[in-house]
Amino acid sequence: MLDDLAKSGPRHIAVIMDGNGRWARGRGLPRIAGHRAGARAAERLIRYVGEHQSASYVTLFAFSTENWRRPPEEIAFLMDLFAEYFRDKCDEMVEQGVCLRVAGQLDRLPRSVQDAARHAMEQTQAGQRIVVNIALSYGGREEILHAVKRLSRRVERGEMSAEQLTEEALAGELYTAGIPDPDLIIRTSGEMRLSNFLLWQAAYAELYFSETLWPDFGPDDLEQALDAFRRRDRRFGRQ
């Protein structure tokens, strides 16, 4: 059964969208041009998966907790870009059957981004074709720590015992609660690391690294990743 599922394709695809800055630099453009091109690539991928693939979930790593260390002007541009995306693409997401989620420290984002994201999530909550999970101000270690703190407070209040602290209980407190773990994690631009992305959820994910810079990543690149996934033997510790 598991082998059949692997051959049919991943149910959940997660992407570390890397290479916007290098894409811009290679064209003599400012970094913000790379970020805008990267946003178009994200739209292209969501549309293609929703129309042509069997995947029901897509998680996109858009802004990490470490990204707050970038220059203030770049952060400001990215925050405006996120707010713009949530506002301007909301109706399109509804038409495409997208259910939008945002994973990460939402309260750390500017109010404009928080409001636009919450509005888009409300408007798209009935979407049934595909769940799009945007990781914003997200870090895997912080996510696990956040979940542990929430569980610890429940133990302190007597709502649960230490013996009830199971993997399932912890997973239920993660930002991705209710979303299955990723089957396939793609990273673009030739880098080969997870960079603090979905550390708990990636336990049995297949990893695929593409040399393509994210703004250039298109349907053909995705199909190559999916072909590689289907050729893998996912044993999950059985052999």
CA within 13 Å, CB half, 157: 7
CB count within 10 Å of CB 227 equals: 11
Among candidate residues 134, 183, 190, the one with its CA nearest the CA of residue 22: 190
- The beta-carbon contacts of 143-152 under 8 Å, at least 24 apart in sequence, are 143/103, 143/104, 143/174, 143/175, 143/199, 143/200, 144/170, 144/174, 144/199, 144/200, 146/173, 146/175, 147/173, 147/174, 148/173
> Tokens 């636009």 identify what position?
116
d(CA 57, CA 144): 21
d(CA 119, CA 8): 34
DSSP string, 145-190: HHHHHHHHHHHHTTSS-GGG--HHHHHTTSTTTTSPPPSEEEE-TT
**Active site amino acids:** 18, 67
